[in-house]
Amino acid sequence: MAENNNKNIPLYAVIFAVIAKLYFLLTHHIQEDAFITWRVAQNLLDYGVIGFNGDTKISASTTHLYVFVSYLFNLIFGKENFIEPLLILNTVLFTIGSLFLSHLLLKNPWHKAIFIFLFGLLPPSIKISILGMEYGILFFLEMALLYYGFKKEKKWALVVFPVLILFTRIDTVIFLGIVFLVDVFWNKKIKWFYVLGGILGVSSALAFNWFYFGEIVNNTIVAKKLAYDRVYTLNQDFEYFRLNYGNFWGMLKLPGDFNPITIIIAIFELLCFIFLIRQSEKRNYFLWMIFLFAWTKQIIFLSQKSLFDWYYWVPQILLFVPVLVFVLEQKVKRNWWLSALIVVYILPMLAFQTIHSIATGNGEWNYRRSIGLFLNNYEKDKKQWILLEPAGYIPYFSGLKAIDEVGLVDKQIQEEIKKDKPNYWLNTVKKRKPKYLLSYNSLFEGKDGLYYKTHYKLLNEFRIKNHLQSDNKILEKIYKLKPSGTDYNLYEKIKD
């Protein structure tokens, strides 16, 4: 009986880990791009089309599977009430994924329970769980593949999970490829069912893009490549890496261009990994998979100048896995190691993420959402267009049709970028004549100021400084300590 209870301890840890993170829902820290996915899901609900603006098809979201999941949650709970249930689902799935991971790496049920709880409290885990992106589902699917496909050796898992993973994000081909290479090197044979799963996954994702959208690669990838493309010299590449690596290899972003904490943690992660793989354990098979994947993905994405921090959440948390395993398996002074880890690292990281989420939630939910709500109340004709960046909160809460600067949700602006990148914003305004413009800058100043003064009027100025107050003095101190948000100027087209 006692043995059965011990087996259930990791399950209890899953429950406690989920509950422990739910207070982050109160911060309203939700990633901007989540609202793009949710708008696509609601567009599918309203128009029967995967798009962003009415009946125009466009792969505005990076994830197809999460669009369909979001669609179901909108259908079941309604547009006003689906967000919290969906965020809870993401949290539960991520935590079950961490349970699978604990089964791959640890034997002692108590070790698994501690692993699940501490693993779930680290900043990337919190962001994967609560910020509304597709990574909760993705982490669950990836760990389920490793557990059922490679530990339990279920052939169905080797076929089904790669399809679901690739339909969630096409860049997961990196994860699937590293797993394949490690498996072949380790076992000296090829799992042909896994190869079949990979072929079906890639072909189904690409076929869906081609037959539904008329494109091979998601529009989001094409748009970002076009908008952010720059030619760098080798020296500039090195300088770029030096300035940015610290904020993506570690678990937190720090001001400045040098992050010594990241270097210390990265070295400790590497040392723990080396120590563990020197032991003759079956779990080294999975340690190699997750560690090589984490390093490979970060190197690839950073080399491609991909600075969106959500690309790095899963690699960040997987790189820290050897540290947790190392500490939990210490035979001498384990409690000392564990206490030191919690006091010196886990709790400070949790405190940092709490402050960060409160401040960012204020800047996004309280501030940026208020711009969308203002427009929703001000403009009743939802067929009107707004040109802005980014395309998350404000289009979602305003209900207006949107042209974003990057072209994630509107392909026509991509053509303007191709024709005349320095002047594409003005050319889009002249050609499309959107009723509203939302800009970080004053459009009435500069070389094109006369055109804007002639055709548009300043409707409202939105300033982040006006959203740094709170009746709660602690919250107000956090808002002012880490102000999050950007000043905007809103312009309305003058009637002809």
Location of structure tokens 């909160």: 393
Supply the range of the domain harboring residue 418.
359-493
Chain segment 66-119, per-residue pLDDT in tens = 999 999 999 999 999 999 999 999 999 999 999 999 999 999 999 999 999 999
Per cent of the chain over pLDDT 90 is 75
Q: Is residue 386 part of a domain?
A: yes
Which pLDDT does position 253 carry in this prediction?
60
Q: How many Cβ atoms are within 10 Å of 204's Cβ, its own excluded?
A: 16
C-alpha closest to that of 131 among 314, 302, 266, 265: 314
Q: Is residue 446 part of a domain?
A: yes
Separation between Cα atoms, residue 90 and residue 128, nearest integer Å? 8
- Number of structural domains in the chain: 1
Examine the pLDDT at 2 and tell me if it is beyond 50: no
Q: Is residue 478 part of a domain?
A: yes
Strand partners, 401: 385
Of residues 261 and 415, which shows the higher confidence score? 415
Mean pLDDT of 425-448: 93
Which pLDDT does position 428 carry in this prediction?
95
Q: Is residue 428 part of a domain?
A: yes
Chain segment 231-290, per-residue pLDDT in tens = 667 776 777 666 666 666 666 665 555 567 777 888 899 999 999 999 888 889 999 999
Mean pLDDT of 436-450: 92
Q: Is residue 128 part of a domain?
A: no
Examine the pLDDT at 381 and tell me if it is beyond 90: yes
- Judge whether 108 and 337 are in contact, CB under 8 Å: no
Give a three-class secondary structure readout of 461-482: EECHHHHCCCCCHHHHHHHHHC
C-alpha closest to that of 178 among 78, 91, 476, 165: 165
Q: Is residue 267 part of a domain?
A: no
Which pLDDT does position 1 carry in this prediction?
44
Chain segment 12-27, per-residue pLDDT in tens = 999 999 999 999 999 9
Examine the pLDDT at 332 and tell me if it is beyond 90: no
CA dist list (Å): 221 to 35, 170, 260, 265, 407: 18, 10, 32, 31, 10
Q: How many Cβ atoms are within 10 Å of 233's Cβ, its own excluded?
A: 8
pLDDT band with cut points at 50, 70 and 90 for residue 471: confident
Chain segment 317-331, per-residue pLDDT in tens = 999 999 999 999 988
- Mean residue pLDDT across the chain: 91
Which pLDDT does position 242 carry in this prediction?
66
Strand partners, 493: 456
Residues in the chain: 496
Instruction: Name the DSSP class of 57.
Output: B
Mean pLDDT of 139-143: 98
Task: Give the chain's count of helices (H) and strands (E).
Answer: 25, 5
In sequence order, the 6+-apart residues with CB closer than 8 A to the CB of 237 are: 303
- Judge whether 214 and 173 are in contact, CB under 8 Å: no
Of residues 447 and 293, which shows the higher confidence score? 293
Which pLDDT does position 251 carry in this prediction?
64
Examine the pLDDT at 164 and tell me if it is beyond 60: yes
Q: Is residue 463 part of a domain?
A: yes
Of residues 182 and 265, which shows the higher confidence score? 182
Instruction: Name the DSSP class of 183.
Output: H
Per cent of the chain over pLDDT 70 is 94
Examine the pLDDT at 307 and tell me if it is beyond 90: no
Which pLDDT does position 5 carry in this prediction?
60
pTM of the model: 0.94
Separation between Cα atoms, residue 463 and residue 460, nearest integer Å? 10
Could you tell me the two tokens for 249?
């290899």
Q: Is residue 287 part of a domain?
A: no
Range of lowest pLDDT (115-124, 197-206, 243-252, 451-460) = 243-252
pLDDT band with cut points at 50, 70 and 90 for residue 304: confident
